[in-house]
Amino acid sequence: MFHWLEQRPFFFAVAVFIIIAFAGVIEVIPDFAKESRPIVGAKPYTILQLAGRQIYIHEDCNACHSQLIRPFKSETDRYGMYSLSGEYAYDRPFLWGSERQGPDLHRVGNYRTTDWNMNHMWNPSALVPGSIMPSYKDMYSQDIDFGTAYAEAYTVKKVFSTPYDKDLNGNGKIDVPLGSYSNAKKLALQEAMVITADIKNKKIKEAVAEGKIPQIVALIAYLNSLK
């Protein structure tokens, strides 16, 4: 049978095309399903969370951590509800990851507190004996790159119509404000203050009170948002 096919290159090419096109359609169909639209309650990242996400990407956290909980009992028991595609509606790029040297982080905001993360990122093996996760002490003394985070939000708003400055639930309240650069900066600082209100680390608290935003605060804002 294959001999017959190999003697007809044109027909062979057409057959290959049809089979690949068919497989492609099958793969794409789930994306049109309801679950892949932004799920109710999904919101774009605030600028502070975006800055944290950029640090996460920069430090390559997804080389060790996935953000995709599969629908298996062993995973849902440990991490919670399995991941739905609509939850990633505002993720650019996706950070699903394929490695799990560490646990999945897609819902880590549900069970790790700001204070715990603050101590853990400083020295993971002090909290989790035997941990192979590196410490990230630089994040406590370096400030975020606010300009790049603002630029990202501004760009995805313009290019992908990510709903910043919009009332998503129709309750007359803007869900994630962006506005002007200076306004966004003020909001990010306010958010940083809320996050640092319940931590014990004095140095970080003082830095935020002086109007600075250390990287660790943005990273934790991002981790807290993973729910």
Report the residue number, 19 or 128, with the smaller CB distance to ligand HEC. 128
Verify binding: residue 39, ligand HEC, rule CB under 6 A: no
Site size toward ligand HEC, by CB under 6 A: 22
Chain positions 132 to 161 lying near ligand HEC, rule: CB under 6 A, are 132-134, 136
- Is 80 a residue that touches ligand HEC (CB under 6 A)? no
Return all residues near 165 (Cβ < 8 A) that are at least 6 apart: 157, 174, 176, 177, 178, 179
Tokens 């640092």 belong to 196
- Closest approach, Cβ 111 to ligand HEC, in A, equals 7
* Other Cβ atoms within 10 Å of 79 Cβ, number: 21
Q: For residues 197-226, which are near ligand HEC according to CB under 6 A?
A: 219, 223
146 near 188, Cβ under 8 Å?
yes
Among 43, 65, 162, 217, binds ligand HEC (CB under 6 A): 65
State whether the Cα torsion 106-109-110-115 is positive or negative: positive
Inter-residue contact 133 to 147 (CB < 8 Å): no
Give the binding range for ligand HEC (CB under 6 A) out of 3-11, 16-24, 130-138, 165-173: 130-138
Question: Which residue type, as a one-letter code, is found at position 205?
Answer: K
Site residues (vs ligand HEC, CB under 6 A): 56, 59, 61, 63-65, 101-103, 105, 108, 112, 117, 124, 128, 131-134, 136, 219, 223
